[in-house]
Chains A and B, each alone.
Chain A
Amino acid sequence: MRKLTVAALAAVITALTVVAGAATAPEQTTSLTIYSGRDRVLVEPVLDRFEQETGIDVNVRYASSTALATALVEEGRNSPADVFWSTEPGTLGLVAARGLLKPLPQATMNKAPARFSTRSKRWVGTSARSRVLVYNTQLLEQSQLPRTIWGLTNSRWKGKIGIAPTNGSFQAFLGAAIHLHGEARMRTWLRGIRNNEPRTYPNNTTTVQAVARGDVAVGLVNHYYLYNVLADTPGLPIRNHWFQSGDPGSLVLAAGVGIVSSTKKHAAAQRFVEFLHSKWAQRFIARGPGAAEYPVVRGVPIRPGLRPLAQVKGPKYSLGRLSVDLPKAVRLLLEVGLLK
């Protein structure tokens, strides 16, 4: 009986789809479906170019990398996705751990340095970014900024810190820190941050904007959002500050891409992955309008004025570990009450 109702329900929805579908554009046959955790503004020009070059149509589902990873796990074999392009290695690792990503060819893996990919070959880095402390130059001098994240629990930062606890990169930073410094120490640190009454924002962009407005003095974000916000409004009083060498607050993360196991368009998906490592795409990621990430492919220059990656001394941490450490970070954030 339950099967019957479910079947009837599916039939009703199929009928609705047909009715509604008749009113919208017809489905393309040679199309690739991409789950993108990356923002629309940073992705759309790349996809347009890919469509032009290859004649392959692209459908994109934009959401947080976490939501997309959750969706991929829930969908399993039913997933309409061919490619998962994520802002954050932990989500890629979690999806890969369920066997939902295909191994990539060695030639693709060789494009990016080993630190920005995984030994299992299930995903490969497409760009790198560093965690930083963005600060308001009208409210603070560089010399007043803490040299480590531990300094942020000092009470003089009360009400002055902006964080984005739902953001995957923030959670990845915390996960890496838990691995490096132990859960107990990070619990103490998070409590210290919480006692400093930080303001929470939905993402990096709004955190940087809040710093620019002076709502908070500093924000824990990825380095390139500064350029994104400055591209909209040049001249805002914001600057990036890197913590001292080895500090988890300067962790270097990677955005990466993987091919979904259930895809029936493997060749097109592989072509898309290769396109992301092309000179054009890497240059756009590094220097396109409002963009300022570190390219992973050798020989592509970074944005002028940006601190070179070689000078960013993050902690030693293998990004492949994040599939284990990310859930720990989430649990800790809930436990301390920074997430609800």
Chain B
Amino acid sequence: MSNGAAAAVSSPRRRAPLPLVLAAGLVAAAAAVPIAYLVVRALSADEAGRALVSLDLTVELVVNTALLAVGVVAAALVVGVPLAWLVVRTDLPGRRLWGLAASLPLVIPSFVAALALLGALAPRGLLQQLLEPLGVEELPEVTGYWGALLALTLSTYPYVFLLAAAGLRGIDPSAEEAARSLGSGRAAVFFRVTLPALRPSLAAASLLVSLYVLSDFGAVSLMGYDTLTTGIYTRYEALLALDAAAILALVLVALAVVIVLLATRFGARGTIYRSTPGAGRQAEVVPLGRWRWPALAFCTSVLGLFLVLPLGVLVWWSVQADPITGRAGIAWDAALNSALAAGVSAAVGALVVLPAALLAWRYPSRIARFLERLTLSPSALPGIAVALALVFFGARVGGVVYQSLGLLIFAYVLRFMPYSLASTRASLDAVSPRLEEAARGLGRKPLGATVSVVLPLARTGILAGAALVFLSAVKELPATLLLRPIGFDTLATRIWEGTALGAYAQVAPSALLLVAIAAPLVYLLSWRNAWELGAAD
């Protein structure tokens, strides 16, 4: 990010206004308190609680979780990078459409992906019924590790695709051209020049994907694969063991921190350098020629598996009742609740990060950087850990706070405000501080200048950030299960309850609605905005 540039042109008045520092500090503190609660609780666990997390079991769950993260990252890279290259760099027929379609699975929550894949690929599922005339009597079962891998790849490869596509657009083509002119073939250029230049984007994407896998609860439990999140949930839900859940949650947070440190080391701080300033040149388009057909086959099979198949299953179930569990309608009340909670979270999430973003943009200092980091840190916190911390906190405080919609929204905002901060920061960096100074010079008060001049210029990033918070909140499952107020069902929890009763087909219309609510937001996030989001630290 262009911190250096912003600092170079900023005004001589470097001291940040105290209210701004206090506001940013309060938000950052709110991010830190729940985890402090979790630590205290885990450390004060009694013997009975500790007995329900043996070392062997903890190691097994950590290994399971890590193996899944590694597998999903690898699969998402294998799917996402070639797709991005084909869409950005080649003359693939219909590449704009492929690009849009490739980012669409972003709106399919992992638990919806899992239940659709289970329905399609079960030994006697829908795919087998389709293939029955060809003599296929039973398909192999796709559950456990491979099932979870498939469902999570579906939900996460779009991050790799979007960031790789943005990275490819941002690469200065001159290095590739130089390599070509020195006699390297296309493949050699791709592996020796393009891929290394993409490293920051891919590291950032891998970080996003692995944190997603760490937080996932729905897909792994539907697929019957034991990870840290399922271990935490089992202790909360079925074992009378909140202390044990807190201990495992802390292990999960530690694993997330390790992953962030690893990714940072391997260059996740994504900066794409250009050799020349000013507007970038686009790389030349690679003609595919005969390779067009395998390329199209690749795109078709990826999107067939990850978009057409799951949506097809949901549509099929919506029109055709399941022989065991029957049919049901759309949970409109739950949809309203989802929209309400996610909507308020998006608005609050956009507002609360403004002090930190303005501070970092206008008054860069060690404190500003520290507060920004702290506000960004919850992006590494799995939702179930945040929720558990807030359950402890809420039960202790009680009163109107406990089991309130406010606490749920607080969890959403806390968990997802890093997205909104990153996005807001990225667009603020494009605003010259001189404009604000001009407004001040013309007699505006500091707050007035910010509101009337700066924020409108940064609105794209602020809105994209809010959209990302909305999208994430609407899909959120584990924290919602733990924190929702009495009688407050969201689409996610209603779908989850349905799956717990084996009523996959009954919840299909609600799952489709959830996807439909989230779908338009992909438009906001795709292409240009994704570049900004991805490039932001």
Interface residues of A (CB under 8 A from B): 2, 5-6, 8-10, 12-21, 23-24, 33, 39-40, 59-61, 63-64, 66-67, 69-71, 73-78, 80, 91, 94, 166-168, 171, 200, 202-203, 205-206, 209-210, 212-213, 229, 232-233, 236, 326-327, 330-331, 334, 339-340
Q: Report yes or no: B236 in contact with A67, Cβ–Cβ below 8 A.
A: yes
B200-227 interface code vs A (CB 8 A; 1 in, 0 out): 0000000000000000000001001010
Q: Report yes or no: A203 in contact with B500, Cβ–Cβ below 8 A.
A: yes
CB-contacts of B401-432 with A (<8 A) = 401-407, 409-410
CB-contacts of B303-354 with A (<8 A) = 323-326, 340-341, 344, 348
Q: Report yes or no: B52 in contact with A334, Cβ–Cβ below 8 A.
A: yes
Q: Report yes or no: A12 in contact with B410, Cβ–Cβ below 8 A.
A: yes
Residue A212 contacts which of B237, B324, B348 (CB distance < 8 angstroms)? B324
* Residue ID in chain B nearest A202 by CB atoms: B500
State the Cβ distance, A85 to closest chain B Cβ, in Å.
14
Q: Report yes or no: B392 in contact with A74, Cβ–Cβ below 8 A.
A: yes
* Residue ID in chain B nearest A71 by CB atoms: B395
Q: Please report whether the interface of chain A is mostly helix, strand, loop or mixed according to DSSP.
A: helix
Residue B52 contacts which of A63, A69, A330 (CB distance < 8 angstroms)? A330
B242 interface residue, CB < 8 Å from A? yes
* Residue ID in chain B nearest A205 by CB atoms: B501
B441 interface residue, CB < 8 Å from A? no
> Which residues from chain A contact B54 at a C-beta distance below 8 Å?
334
B524 interface residue, CB < 8 Å from A? no
Q: How far is the CA of A104 from the CA of B405 in the complex (A)?
A: 33
Q: How far is the CA of A16 from the CA of B231 in the complex (A)?
A: 31
* Residue ID in chain B nearest A340 by CB atoms: B226
State the Cβ distance, A74 to closest chain B Cβ, in Å.
4
> Which residues from chain A contact B395 at a C-beta distance below 8 Å?
71, 74-76, 78
- Given A17-B404, A33-B486, A203-B500, CB of A66 within 8 Å of CB of B239: yes
Q: Report yes or no: A330 in contact with B501, Cβ–Cβ below 8 A.
A: no
Residue A80 contacts which of B30, B60, B241, B403 (CB distance < 8 angstroms)? B403
Q: Choose among A74, A167, A210 the residue with the greatest number of B CB atoms under 10 Å from its CB.
A: A74
CB-based A-B contact count at 8 angstroms: 162
> Which residues from chain B contact A210 at a C-beta distance below 8 Å?
502
Q: Report yes or no: B398 in contact with A23, Cβ–Cβ below 8 A.
A: no
Q: Report yes or no: B237 in contact with A209, Cβ–Cβ below 8 A.
A: no
Residue B401 contacts which of A13, A77, A168, A200 (CB distance < 8 angstroms)? A13
Q: How far is the CA of A15 from the CA of B403 in the complex (A)?
A: 14
State the Cβ distance, A161 to closest chain B Cβ, in Å.
15
Q: Report yes or no: B234 in contact with A206, Cβ–Cβ below 8 A.
A: no
Q: How far is the CA of A17 from the CA of B57 in the complex (A)?
A: 39
- Given A209-B502, A334-B54, CB of A70 within 8 Å of CB of B242: yes
Residue B391 contacts which of A14, A74, A76, A205 (CB distance < 8 angstroms)? A74
> Which residues from chain A contact B392 at a C-beta distance below 8 Å?
74
Q: Report yes or no: B409 in contact with A20, Cβ–Cβ below 8 A.
A: yes
What are 13 A-B residue pairs whose CB atoms fall within 8 Å in the complex? A6-B397, A9-B30, A20-B409, A23-B344, A24-B405, A61-B487, A63-B237, A74-B391, A78-B396, A168-B238, A202-B221, A233-B326, A330-B238
Q: Report yes or no: B502 in contact with A205, Cβ–Cβ below 8 A.
A: yes
> Which residues from chain B contact A24 at a C-beta distance below 8 Å?
340, 405
> Which residues from chain B contact A167 at a C-beta distance below 8 Å?
238
B447 interface residue, CB < 8 Å from A? no
Q: Report yes or no: A10 in contact with B236, Cβ–Cβ below 8 A.
A: no
> Which residues from chain B contact A23 at a C-beta distance below 8 Å?
340, 344
> Which residues from chain A contact B221 at a C-beta distance below 8 Å?
202
Q: How far is the CA of A326 from the CA of B501 in the complex (A)?
A: 24
Determine the interface band of chain B, counting residues with CB < 8 A from chain A.
Answer: 35 or more
State the Cβ distance, A165 to closest chain B Cβ, in Å.
8
* Residue ID in chain B nearest A63 by CB atoms: B237
- Given A78-B398, A166-B237, CB of A59 within 8 Å of CB of B486: yes
- Given A75-B395, A202-B500, A334-B54, CB of A10 within 8 Å of CB of B239: no
Q: Report yes or no: A67 in contact with B238, Cβ–Cβ below 8 A.
A: yes
Q: Report yes or no: A15 in contact with B325, Cβ–Cβ below 8 A.
A: no
Q: Report yes or no: B486 in contact with A61, Cβ–Cβ below 8 A.
A: yes
Q: Report yes or no: B29 in contact with A8, Cβ–Cβ below 8 A.
A: yes
> Which residues from chain B contact A212 at a C-beta distance below 8 Å?
324
Q: Report yes or no: B239 in contact with A209, Cβ–Cβ below 8 A.
A: no
State the Cβ distance, A261 to closest chain B Cβ, in Å.
14
Q: Report yes or no: A166 in contact with B234, Cβ–Cβ below 8 A.
A: yes
Q: How far is the CA of A334 from the CA of B226 in the complex (A)?
A: 13
* Residue ID in chain B nearest A326 by CB atoms: B240
Q: Report yes or no: B400 in contact with A14, Cβ–Cβ below 8 A.
A: yes
Q: How far is the CA of A334 from the CA of B400 in the complex (A)?
A: 37
State the Cβ distance, B166 to closest chain A Cβ, in Å.
34
B48 interface residue, CB < 8 Å from A? yes
* Residue ID in chain A nearest B29 by CB atoms: A5
B12 interface residue, CB < 8 Å from A? no
Q: How far is the CA of A19 from the CA of B351 in the complex (A)?
A: 14
Q: Report yes or no: B231 in contact with A232, Cβ–Cβ below 8 A.
A: no
State the Cβ distance, B369 to closest chain A Cβ, in Å.
21
Q: Report yes or no: A78 in contact with B399, Cβ–Cβ below 8 A.
A: yes
Q: Report yes or no: A69 in contact with B240, Cβ–Cβ below 8 A.
A: yes
State the Cβ distance, A3 to closest chain B Cβ, in Å.
11
Closest 5 interchain pairs by CB? A78-B398, A17-B406, A16-B406, A166-B238, A20-B405
Q: Report yes or no: B324 in contact with A229, Cβ–Cβ below 8 A.
A: yes
B117-141 interface code vs A (CB 8 A; 1 in, 0 out): 0000000000000000000000000
Q: Choose among B236, B406, B500 the residue with the greatest number of A CB atoms under 10 Å from its CB.
A: B406
> Which residues from chain A contact B255 at a C-beta distance below 8 Å?
none
State the Cβ distance, A227 to closest chain B Cβ, in Å.
15
State the Cβ distance, A331 to closest chain B Cβ, in Å.
7
Taking A64-B237, A66-B239 as given, write out 4 further A-B residue pairs in contact, using a Cβ cutoff of 8 Å, ordered by the A residue number.
A17-B407, A166-B238, A166-B239, A327-B48
> Which residues from chain A contact B60 at a C-beta distance below 8 Å?
340
B63 interface residue, CB < 8 Å from A? no
CB-contacts of B44-102 with A (<8 A) = 48, 51-52, 54, 57, 60-61
Q: Report yes or no: B234 in contact with A80, Cβ–Cβ below 8 A.
A: no
> Which residues from chain B contact A209 at a C-beta distance below 8 Å?
324-325, 502
* Residue ID in chain A nearest B341 by CB atoms: A20
Q: How far is the CA of A66 from the CA of B239 in the complex (A)?
A: 7
CB-contacts of B234-254 with A (<8 A) = 234, 236-242
Q: How far is the CA of A263 from the CA of B399 in the complex (A)?
A: 13
CB-contacts of B355-403 with A (<8 A) = 391-393, 395-403
Q: How far is the CA of A84 from the CA of B423 in the complex (A)?
A: 46
Q: How far is the CA of A2 from the CA of B497 in the complex (A)?
A: 38
Q: Choose among B221, B348, B396, B502 the residue with the greatest number of A CB atoms under 10 Å from its CB.
A: B502
Q: How far is the CA of A203 from the CA of B273 in the complex (A)?
A: 54
Q: Report yes or no: B230 in contact with A233, Cβ–Cβ below 8 A.
A: no
Q: Report yes or no: A66 in contact with B405, Cβ–Cβ below 8 A.
A: no
- Given A94-B240, A213-B324, A334-B52, CB of A75 within 8 Å of CB of B398: yes
Q: Report yes or no: A67 in contact with B348, Cβ–Cβ below 8 A.
A: no
State the Cβ distance, B176 to closest chain A Cβ, in Å.
49
B26 interface residue, CB < 8 Å from A? yes
Q: How far is the CA of A168 from the CA of B237 in the complex (A)?
A: 10
* Residue ID in chain A nearest B54 by CB atoms: A334
